[in-house]
Structure 1
Amino acid sequence: MQMNKNLPDKKNSGYRLNFVLGFVLFVFIILAARYQYFLLNYIEWGDESETIVTAKMMASGQSLYSEIFNHHGPLTFFPGVMLELFGDFGVRGHRVPTAILQIISILAIYCSSIFKNNITRLTSVFYATFTIIFLMPKLLGHMYTYQALTGPLLLIILFVYTFPSIIDRNLLTAPRVFTGSLLIASLPFLASTYAPIAAILFLISLPRSYVKASVAGAFLGTAANLLFLICYGSLKGFLAIHFYLNYGILPEYLDVISSALASLSGKTDIIGPFLMFSIIGLLALASHEKKMPWRSILLAIGIASLLIRGIDFHGLPYYYAFIGISLLPILKINEFIHPVKLGALFFILLCSARASLLLPGDREELVARRIPAETEFSRLVKKYTDKDDKIIAYSFDNFQYIAADRLPASGHFFYLPWQEKYSENPKFGINIDACKEIAEYRPKIMLINKWKVWGLYSWDSYGGCIQKIVDTHYTQVPDRPFYIRKDISAAETRTP
């Protein structure tokens, strides 16, 4: 009788612990959102600035690929262009769509039909949130790049569509199938290297009972992306720059597959644990297939293709897919024992402390690596130019356009060896002539940082034509890579 009297106490104790866990998790989510806000101003990087400058040029009326050089997929620039239609935003503003997409991916996990109880659902939400805000920034996942956009999209596709389709197709609904198919069709428009994973996801997710919804979603996704490309870019330019240049010229400068394999072989200590847990997750997924687990096998191949360019920031979509795959083994858990809950409570408290930025060093790191509001060159630009004047920042100093709040004077707003190589044999009538544009416009001020690309390709090997213009018409600021047009008098300068 005494033992029976104690049972309600144990039950109440379990309820209290669950309540505390839920409350602490809620606090962590709030602090994580605040932490994400601070990440909006954390570290500047050339590839991200490249994306932002391209979006600004497109919003100003220039055509992607035919008037603006960029070899990334057109969907990459959609968020930036839409944002620029409502104002003039810097790096911080352009990171907001990435942050929103990350939040939507967390909601997709929470709302996924594959979870049978709140234990696994909330555990998955915490795990994904922890990974996204603490680990992804180390791979530049908080930035506005095509890799950072692809990752959350993959997570949404997996939890809304692909995982339910493989685990139990009765969990699917027409809206989920339609949404998943639309997003799958959009992946290759971020980068053509995502075509393999898109094809595999479409094949393994396609349910016979929802073929119409799947086809309709894929059609609309493709049509919407093509419409955006037609309105803001060039189809011929897309073929010439995104495909011909990427696959016909770039391999001469960088053997993508070899470098990826080399990076894998040299960093197995980093990728090894990720691969191990990916295999465990895929085996858990395969256990839901009644016969030959061909869907899980194809998914493994598709996820492996995400590492084709290496395990650094280029592999960011793989690490997002890893979040989803590594969660699959916990699906069959109905309850955690008391000691596990206490351990989880302690760990969530630690993560909350870090997300609060109250621990020594955490806030200092974010503040120390804040994006600068201005640069030495941007101050000089504002001294010598008006808002409508255009400038040049070569070879790859894209942030200078954002800091100076000026558009580029050429569609080649950065300049690297493969751009010079392409101009020797342009395709489909697509050729942006940097020398001609700069010679005709003659910006009042330019930055010419003569980068020896990867220590292999000197400025003279690809920037000779531009250098002739600089030598003829510009005067260099002493000890700086800044060049001011010779006819600009001191009277025309403005106080910075």
Structure 2
Amino acid sequence: MALYGAALFAAIGLSVFLLRAKAGLYLFEFGDESEKFVAAQMMLHGMTLYRDIFAHHGPVSYIIAHLYAALVSPTDFSYIRWVMVILALMSAASIYLSPSLKNTPARLWTVGVFLSLLSSIWVLQGIHMVLYHQIGGFLLVVPVTQLFVPLLLGDTPRKAGVVFSGLAIVISCFTAYSFGPTSVLLVLACLILVFTRTGMAGFRRFALYFTAGLAIGLLLLLSWMSVFSDLKGYLVYHFYFNQAVYSRFIDFSLADVKNVFKLSFTPATTIHSFVLVGFVSWLFVLASRFFPAADNKLRFWGSMAILIFVFAIALVNPRGGIGIHDAGFVILNMSLFALSAALCLQSPRFSTPRASAAQIVIGAMATIVAVLIFEQVSRHGISSPHQTPKNELRQHVVRMRPADAPVFEFIRSVSKPEGDMLALIFNPGVYIRSDRRPASGHYYYLPWQAAYNKNSVGGYKIDICKDIAERRPSVIFFDDWKVLQTYPIDEYEPCVPAIIKDKYTAVGNGSQLYLRSDLLTADTKSHQAEDMRLQPSPQLSTEQPLKLSMTTGPASQKGLKRIGIRFGTYAQQNAGEAELRLVRADGTEYRQIFPLSDLADNAYRHFDLDGSSYVSGQIIGVSGGGVSTWESHATNGEVLTCLTYEYADGKLGFTSGCPLY
């Protein structure tokens, strides 16, 4: 009965978790995650992390992205979050294999509890994202469940568990150096317990296997870093930069760790507060099992180890933040809560025919109720970092791969794949969806990067303005906003907006896309106006053709190889055919019939031409109508059809006041 019930509960927990994890593959984009994907693409093309590519996070998340790009897909990152699912299942396996669990029903119960709790907040807390907070949290589950809890309760850690704990700890430290204090304190607490319980002989055996795990982890990490990253640059950007520069902008203080224990039941903090309830629960369970069986000496040193361990868990979130910053703290506490729940259910009598059914049922029901309460609580939280309620999560599907949206198709049409665009200030997802590589190692640019560049060390400096001036990217996606509502880029790096203003032209009023001005025809650059408005033309019919009011300069210029016409279909699909007629300078006509059903609403339809110059044009309704062209109306009465012009020499033209995509 105990085994079947526990197996059923574990199967349900696993199924729910996998279903929610699958749904989370495509939910939300977060720049801190997608910038790792862009860096991975740059590394595939020969650039070096921490030297050619700016990065101030630890290498592990970049390693994950790089391996995915090399082994799965260099452009489609839609499935990379399965890595987080694997890490979660690895943590569940570590809990299942904890030496403190003595029978299969208890092991299955703890897996069911852990995965059920995790599924409730998988997307809500951003645990589905490839970020260092989450990665480190899952890794640290291994030494917590394989070393600390067994040592505290008098169970002997397995050799493999000690080795994998050393491996997990060293990888967590390379995930982010902020996990270093937690790792040191966790190891110290384990060493105290090892020495107190087993003496010097046991201490030496433990140190041998633990050091072997550390060595394996270091070997793997340094092997990758020696090829794809700069080791000195890693020290400069990850340690010096974060500690000396970045910490000033986030006002970091170690005293902030006290906020970890702050109770609050606002939507943003509800999950954290209920995790604190779990924190008290597992601490009580472990203490109630340790103290009654310990002698005075062991009680003293065990108390010290518990205090150190509690502080280590708190330091997983040294900034005392909520949301994604809280992910590691949440993961560790859920694993400890699940393990303590299994300890409560665990009894030698479970494996005998005389098992107490009442004990099993009461314990199981209490566990299930705790999981259901946590699930209900999660419904009142909001997601991090997007502040979206749980019932609205499915509305935010974003696939991290090249997209066919008009803006990204346009970027691809006017730029080369390698080093021909920048997305500033912080829009790394644009590179992925437009399938373009950055023109600078500063593929985003925030105030702390500028502050460091003013006082760089060791020769590690990437000059973004020099990169823009020398590499002259065709396209700059420039989302100009105040970072932290305080720092505008024209103050922290004024050369960037100055170059954009001097050398680039916006592709429409209010657009975030800027094209290099020398790519545009002279007529196009001279007709950028602020006082134009868009209106649809009269609708096409067999009796009513649509005149194309063309900008004189671009239309008559020789070498016109393609023209785009922006149509409006009134959100419907129209039947029949129409014919484009363009009159050449010599009086002859270019004609092309096209189906109206192919037209997209508020989008350009492109027509390949023969390189002639043209003086006028119109669209004739052959067997249908109901569509319009978009027009730009100036205050002086001038009306121009929204057209784009592409020339054999690479230059572009477009109608002033019209969007280009």
TM-score, with structure 1 as normaliser = 0.87
Asked if the contact 1:154/1:320 (under 8 Å) is kept, the reply is no
1:165 Cα offset (Å)? 2.9
Amino acid at match of 2:395: A
Measure how far apart 1:169 and its partner are.
Answer: 4.3
- Residue 131 of structure 1 pairs with residue 117 of structure 2: yes
Alignment partners' CA distance in 2, 1:112 and 1:440: 57
Name the stretch that deviates more: 197-206 or 126-135.
197-206
Aligned AA for 2:283?
Answer: L
> What residue in structure 2 maps to residue 223 of structure 1?
219
Paired position in structure 1 for 2:59: 74
Q: Which amino acid aligns with 1:430?
A: Y
Query: 1:338 — aligned with what?
Result: 361
**1:189 maps to what in 2?**
174
Q: Is the 8 A contact 1:75 1:190 kept in 2?
A: yes
Unaligned runs of 5+ in 1: 1-14, 354-361
Report the Cα distance in structure 2 between the residues aligned to 1:273 and 1:345, rounded to whole angstroms.
16
Q: CA deviation at 1:403?
A: 0.9
Residues 347, 260 of structure 1: CA spacing in aligned structure 2 closer, same or farther, 3 A cutoff?
Answer: closer
Query: Which string of whole-angstrom CA distances, capped at 9 and with x for unpartnered residues, describes residues 87-107 of structure 1?
Result: 314342221211211111112
Q: By how many angstroms is 1:382 displaced? A: 1.6
- Alpha-carbon distance in structure 2 between the residues aligned to 1:339 and 1:276: 20
How far apart, CA to CA, are the structure 1 residues paired with 2:512 and 2:363?
59
> What CA deviation, in whole Å up to 9, does each residue of 1:421-470 have, x standing for no partner?
11111111101111111211111111111120111111211231111221
Q: Is the 8 A contact 2:274 2:374 kept in 1?
A: no
Structure 1 residue 179, shift from structure 2 partner: 1.1
Who is 2:487 aligned against?
Answer: 457
| Equivalent of residue 517 in structure 2, options 469, 473, 486 | 486
Instruction: Return the match for 2:424 from 394, 407, 410.
Output: 394
Mapping 1:52-451, distance limit 5 Å = 52-86=37-71, 87-170=73-156, 172-206=157-191, 207=194, 208=203, 209-257=205-253, 260=256, 268-269=264-265, 270=269, 271-286=272-287, 287-288=289-290, 290=294, 291=298, 292=300, 293=302, 294-309=304-319, 310-330=321-341, 331-333=343-345, 334=347, 336-338=359-361, 341=364, 365-372=392-399, 374=403, 377-451=407-481
1: CA distance, partners of 2:256 / 2:246: 15
Supply the distance in 1 between the matched residues of 2:447 and 2:36 (Cα, whole angstroms).
19
Aligned length: 472
CA distance in 1 between partners of 2:41 and 2:172 (Å): 22
Task: Provide closer, same or farther for how the CA distance between residues 352 and 428 of structure 1 changes in structure 2, counting only shifts above 3 A.
Answer: closer
Report if aligned partners of 1:284, 1:328 keep a CA contact under 8 Å in 2. Answer: no
Following superposition, the deviation at residue 214 of structure 1 comes to 1.2
- Deviation, 1:115, is 0.9
1:35 partner letter? R
Q: 1:223, 1:399 → 2: CA distance?
A: 32
Between Structure 1 and Structure 2, the one with more strand by share is: 2
Q: CA deviation at 1:145?
A: 0.9
Shift of the 390–158 alpha-carbon distance from structure 1 to 2, 3 Å rule, reads: farther
Q: Which amino acid aligns with 2:282?
A: G
Greater CA drift, 338-347 or 24-33 = 338-347
TM (norm. structure 2) is 0.66
User: Aligned equivalents of 2:130 and 2:54: distance in 1?
Assistant: 18
Q: 1:343 to 1:288 in 2, by over 3 A?
A: closer
Q: Is the 8 A contact 1:46 1:397 kept in 2?
A: yes
Report the structure, 1 or 2, having the larger helix content: 1
Tell me which structure has the larger Cα radius of gyration: 2
Q: Residue 332 and residue 232 in structure 1: after superposition, are their counterparts in 2 closer, same or farther (change >3 A)?
A: same
Does the 8 Å CA contact 1:54/1:68 hold for their aligned counterparts? yes
Give SS of 2:328's match.
helix
More off after superposition, 115-124 vs 485-494: 485-494
Which stretch has the larger CA shift, 56-65 or 398-407? 56-65
* Distance apart, 1:244 and its partner CA: 1.4
Q: Which residue of 1 aligns with 2:583?
A: none
Specify the SS of the correspondent of 1:40. helix
Deviates more, 1:338-347 or 1:393-402: 338-347
Partner of 1:357: none
In the other structure, the counterpart of 1:37 is 22
Q: Match of 2:123, SS?
A: helix
| Greater shift in the superposed pair: 241-250 or 263-272 | 263-272
Q: C-alpha separation between the residues in 2 aligned to 1:263 and 1:346?
A: 28
1:274 to partner: Cα distance: 2.9
RMSD between aligned alpha carbons?
Answer: 3.0
Contact residue 31 and residue 352 of structure 1 kept, 8 A: no
